Amino acid sequence: MQSENRFFDDLSKLINGAAGTVAGMSREFESNARERAKEWIGGLDFVSREEFDAVKAMAAQAREQVAALEARIAALEGKAPASKPKGRTSKAEG
């Protein structure tokens, strides 16, 4: 009876050790995969979210400045500011 109990104790220790080893290997694999992905993505020409937001804010400010300048030019020329963007006009409008 004692020998059977010892066998199951040893088997239990072996299984626990193997499970720990497998868990460690999976953590290491995941860590290596993340590092490889960061290296790969880092090599591409992506911008950070902060850079994107900064450029977006600058573009919005530039649009506001353009609208203000268009209104100023229209006032200097004695015209009402254009309500629709300038683009192609059809022959009927022209």
Q: Is pLDDT of 83 > 70? A: no
Q: What is the dihedral of CA 20, 26, 29, 30, to 10 degrees?
A: -130
Residue 31 lies in a domain: yes
Say which residue, 5 or 76, is predicted with more confidence: 76
Token look-up 């992905």 returns 37
pLDDT tens column, 11-62: 888 898 888 899 889 999 999 999 998 888 777 877 889 999 999 999 999 9
Residues 35 and 54 in one domain: no
Q: Is pLDDT of 66 > 70? A: yes
**The total number of structural domains that make up the chain:** 2
54 lies in which domain range? 47-80
Whole-number Å distance between alpha carbons of 84 and 51: 31
End-to-end CA distance of the chain: 105
Whole-number Å distance between alpha carbons of 92 and 85: 17
pTM score: 0.39
Residues 16 and 39 in one domain: yes
Instruction: Report the pLDDT value the prediction gives residue 41, as an integer from 0 to 100.
Output: 79
The mean pLDDT of 63-92, rounded to a whole number, is: 76
> Are 33 and 25 in contact, with CB atoms under 8 Å apart?
no
- Cα–Cα distances (Å) from 69 to 9, 66, 75, in that order, read 84, 5, 10
Banded model confidence at residue 79, pLDDT cuts 50, 70, 90: confident
Residues 40 and 4 in one domain: yes
